[in-house]
């Protein structure tokens, strides 16, 4: 049976927020709500969702590749649903200049982007190096079809991550983002 504990409460007397924790063995989830009962119910719901999603990991028949493929499918479904929403807009708040680069690095990065050739991967490597970023590649396996190519540019906080059907497509997305970010910088 789950065990519930009240972790704490915050806020003034007229607007209290209670945090409850639900645990089954070593697995626990917490939730904050305006009432103790709602906090416990939220913690129970979060714990139920966690156990349902991760029950296979607790058993010996867990296959990581299959779990990653299922996670990828769920992420793509959420992405498609978000794109179908008329109010959806891409988040353009992250810009290269937000990563505290000096003017020389920004100038070198802009020059590397202007000199970009048809080779998206090579052009990206040159631009990332000029900006002091390192590119690392990963693949997210798919249940059907080709794996998804993931590109991470670091150090950046939050990390810049781009995806594409191929490495070239992911690199092209990253180049487009960097060009857009550099345009914002020159307009400021």
DSSP-assigned beta bridge partners for residue 3: 23
Instruction: Give the end of a domain, one of 32, 60, 88.
Output: 60
Query: What is the number of structural domains in the chain?
Result: 2
From first to last of the 188 residues of the chain, give the pLDDT tens digit: 789 999 999 989 889 999 999 998 888 899 999 999 999 999 999 988 888 777 655 566 666 677 778 888 888 888 777 777 656 555 545 555 455 556 666 677 777 777 767 777 888 888 877 777 788 888 877 666 777 888 887 776 666 788 888 888 888 888 888 777 766 544 44
Residue 102 and residue 150 in one domain: yes
Residue 150 and residue 105 in one domain: yes
CATH number at residue 34: 3.30.160.20
Instruction: Answer whether residue 68 is part of any domain.
Output: no
Residue 8 and residue 52 in one domain: yes
Parent domain of 178: 96-187
Residue 28 and residue 101 in one domain: no
Residue 30 and residue 108 in one domain: no
Q: pLDDT tens across 125-142, in order?
A: 888 777 777 888 888 776
Residue 100 and residue 183 in one domain: yes
Instruction: Answer whether residue 77 is part of any domain.
Output: no
Report how far apart, in Å, the C-alpha atoms of 160 and of each of 50, 80, 82, 140, 153 are: 27, 21, 20, 16, 5
Residue 123 and residue 55 in one domain: no
Q: pLDDT tens across 167-177, in order?
A: 888 888 888 88
Residue 116 and residue 47 in one domain: no
Note if the pTM is more than 0.75. no
Token code pair at residue 144 = 């059907």
Residue 105 and residue 164 in one domain: yes
Instruction: Answer whether residue 85 is part of any domain.
Output: no
């Amino acid at each position: 049976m789950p065990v519930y504990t009240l972790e704490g409460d915050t806020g003034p007397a007229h607007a209290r927020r209670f945090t409850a924790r639900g645990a089954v063995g070593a697995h626990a989830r917490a939730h904050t709500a305006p009432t103790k009962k709602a906090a416990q119910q939220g913690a129970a719901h979060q714990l139920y969702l966690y156990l349902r999603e991760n029950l296979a990991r607790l058993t010996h028949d867990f296959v990581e590749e299959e779990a990653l493929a299922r996670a990828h499918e769920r992420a793509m479904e959420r992405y498609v649903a978000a794109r179908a929403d008329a109010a959806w807009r891409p988040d353009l708040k992250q810009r290269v200049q937000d990563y505290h680069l000096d003017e020389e690095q920004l100038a070198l990065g802009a020059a590397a982007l202007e000199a970009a050739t048809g080779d998206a991967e090579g052009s990206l490597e040159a631009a990332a190096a000029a900006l002091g970023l390192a590119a690392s590649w990963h693949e997210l396996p798919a249940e059907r079809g080709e794996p998804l190519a993931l590109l991470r540019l670091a150090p950046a906080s939050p990390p810049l991550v781009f995806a594409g059907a191929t490495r070239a497509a992911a690199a092209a997305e990253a180049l487009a983002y960097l060009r857009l970010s550099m345009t914002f910088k020159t307009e400021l």
